[in-house]
Amino acid sequence: MNETIHTVGDKACPVCWEKFPRSHLRCGGVVHAQLIHDNPEQGILVDFKCDKCGEELDDYQIYWQT
């Protein structure tokens, strides 16, 4: 197992997936994105979690600033 360490409060978190992290509008925290898998059989699965309020967000249900 290699656990990816996200930096709390870092809006330029280097280990986040794609264009993350993003701001969590509801609490002002930072939403980190962890890529779980990305392959042809299973597709792309990403976990989103706010580092401030701890809310886990599902795909496309994130309230972020663009």
- The residues binding Zn ion (CB under 5 A) are 6, 13, 16, 21, 24, 27, 29, 32, 50, 52-53, 55
Angle made by CA atoms 13, 16, 22, in degrees to the nearest 5: 70
Q: Of 46 and 52, which has the nearer Cβ to Zn ion?
A: 52
Alpha-carbon span 45 to 66, nearest angstrom: 21
The least distance separating Zn ion from the CB of residue 20, rounded to whole angstroms, comes to 6
Residue among 41 and 65 whose Cβ is closer to Zn ion? 65
Closer CB to Zn ion, 47 or 55, in the complex: 55
Minimum Å gap between C-beta 43 and Zn ion is 21
User: Which residues, at least 6 apart from 38, have a Cβ–Cβ distance to it below 8 Å?
Assistant: 44, 45
Tokens of 16: 């986040």
